[in-house]
Amino acid sequence: AQLLRLTIGKLSDIGITVLAVTSDATAHSVQMAKALGIHIDGDDMKCTFQHPSSSSQQIAYFFDSCHLLRLIRNAFQNFQSIQFINGIAHWQHLVELVALEEQELSNMERIPSTLANLKNHVLKVNCAAQLFSESVASALEYLLSLDLPPFQNCIGTIHFLRLINNLFDIFNSRNCYGKGLKGPLLPETYGKINHVLIEAKTIFVTLSDTSNNQIIKGKQKLGFLGFLLNAES
């Protein structure tokens, strides 16, 4: 944290203004954020810290969205089922979807073959991005419409995947000409983006495991709290 403050101060000395800082989502980064004055607790969240060279300027703090996505993927696999106000998301639906992919169903949106050992394999970051995607949500929706037994109660899973995908699109935006949620934050896009962020905050505070333990109060909370901090920033 001290080195970061020093660096920001040196940049200010040569005319470069730092508006935001992005770090990975590790235990060390969390400790650094706290040392800077960032509060990640869901009940008392503070997403900015004092600029070392300007008493009137605050610097926003972000966690890298790819790292947050991986943490949520790991939490989802660990819990197997996540309960929230819109239903229940089941990891088993993704396992069943991979099993169907292996049977080469051609009438559904296909998911990457790199997800083959989904049940017992810790995926890489880019695979996590493919997991929480519109294509996977659409595939589950298609299977739900077919009334196949393994997917008859996958509405909650679809909703959960879409929400995480939308959050990732917002914070992974890198193109000023991007469309939809992948576009930049502008007056004309603010309403749509803000709707997703409010929805995420409303849902994340209700997430619980099968024993009704609140997830954002447990050990695997950082992926969810990280997105909420990003939303505040």
| Same domain for 194 and 133 | yes
- pLDDT confidence of residue 28: 94
Check pLDDT > 80 for residue 113: no
pLDDT band at residue 117 using 50, 70 and 90 as cut-offs: low
pLDDT band at residue 177 using 50, 70 and 90 as cut-offs: confident
| Same domain for 211 and 132 | yes
Residue where one domain finishes, among candidates 63, 83, 98: 63
What proportion of the chain, given as a percentage, has pLDDT over 90?
Answer: 67
pLDDT tens, 4-32? 999 999 999 999 999 999 999 999 999 99
Check pLDDT > 90 for residue 129: no
Check pLDDT > 60 for residue 107: no
| Same domain for 134 and 57 | no
Domains contained in the chain, number: 2
Cβ contacts of 39 within 8 Å, gap of 6 or more: 45, 46
- pLDDT confidence of residue 104: 54
Residue where one domain finishes, among candidates 31, 46, 63: 63
| Same domain for 71 and 4 | no
- pLDDT confidence of residue 192: 93
Mean pLDDT calculated for residue range 85-106: 80
Please indicate, yes or no, if residue 230 is contained in any of the structural domains.
no
| Same domain for 132 and 18 | no
| Same domain for 112 and 136 | yes
